[in-house]
Structure 1
Amino acid sequence: MVVLFLSIIAGCSNRIVNEEQKINVQKRIHDENNYKDFKVISDNDEVQKVQEIVFDTEWENAKVQMESPADYRFIFQYKNPNIEAKVVSYKLWISPNNDVVEIVMKDDAYAILNKENSSILIEILAGENLPN
């Protein structure tokens, strides 16, 4: 009985934390290094999927110089005052072939996502579909 009760509480507490998260997405304006607020993702499942992709990515410790400013920038935001989380910004580029995305985290970590994760991520963050 105690185990069941603790399982229910743990499940509920995870749900509350997840509901307190959102992702702010900015889109680059033209070819400049200017961005505008594009969308806020607050759907629990979408936030969780983006987190899974980003947090499970194998990052390279590298400072990269890209040819153009990022196509999108995004950050995870926690609305729960009990969570002490650092705000980490991510910059995202759609590859020239439009088939994968490249991400830079905090300007010192770099990753290229596989086609499947690239497609999922860009669909959630930008509402775009990458060619298959």
Structure 2
Amino acid sequence: MKKLILFLSLLGFLLVTSGCLNEMVGQKITVQKRTGEENVLEDIKEVTKKNQVKKAIDIVGNADFENEKVAMAHYADYQFQFPSKNRYGSEDKIASYLLWISPNGENLEIVNDSDKYVKLTKQDSADLYEILIGEELVK
């Protein structure tokens, strides 16, 4: 009887622990950079730190996207995606964003997969760029 109770306790502990680990994995951001003058993107980074992912999602989620299609002078400098996970641990929809560094080098301009446009504030641009690229925006 003691062995059964010990076994069930251990099994319950393992189930709870594995559930907590799945929740800790959470979301990630995949970042790609344009190489050369063509529209060829190359994976450069995955952001997996929970606080960085949350901050990036907050910045993009709180941005005032405009419902207008814009024509940019060149291909996007970067592309990033937020694959969101459902409560069962599998990935749902992937939100994709194209990112340009403005000509003055102080702001980021983003177009989402619904062709909505936003120019981020200097502070949001600096924060998002540091999260996505790992460097300061203004050099």
Per the normalisation by structure 1, the TM-score is: 0.81
Q: Secondary structure at the match of 1:61?
A: coil
Pick from 25, 29, 49: which aligns with 1:19?
Answer: 25
Is there any run of 5+ residues in structure 1 with no aligned partner, and where?
Answer: 1-12
Provide the residue aligned with 1:102 in structure 2. Answer: 109
1:1-132 pair list within 5 angstroms: 17=23, 19-80=25-86, 82=88, 85-131=92-138
Q: Percent identity?
A: 44
Larger Rg: 1 or 2?
A: 2
Provide closer, same or farther for how the CA distance between residues 105 and 59 of structure 1 changes in structure 2, counting only shifts above 3 A: same
- Quick check: 100-109 or 78-87, which moved more? 78-87
In structure 1, what residue type is equivalent to 2:97?
A: Y
The CA RMSD over aligned residues, in Å, is 2.3
Q: Output the CA distance in 2 between the equivalents of 1:63 and 1:18.
A: 37
- Quick check: 68-77 or 84-93, which moved more? 84-93
Per the normalisation by structure 2, the TM-score is: 0.77
Contact kept? 2:84, 2:93, Cα under 8 Å: no
- Quick check: 83-92 or 48-57, which moved more? 83-92
Aligned length: 120
1:33-73 Cα shifts (integer Å, max 9, x gaps)? 00100101100010000000000111101111111111100
Is there any run of 5+ residues in structure 2 with no aligned partner, and where?
Answer: 1-18
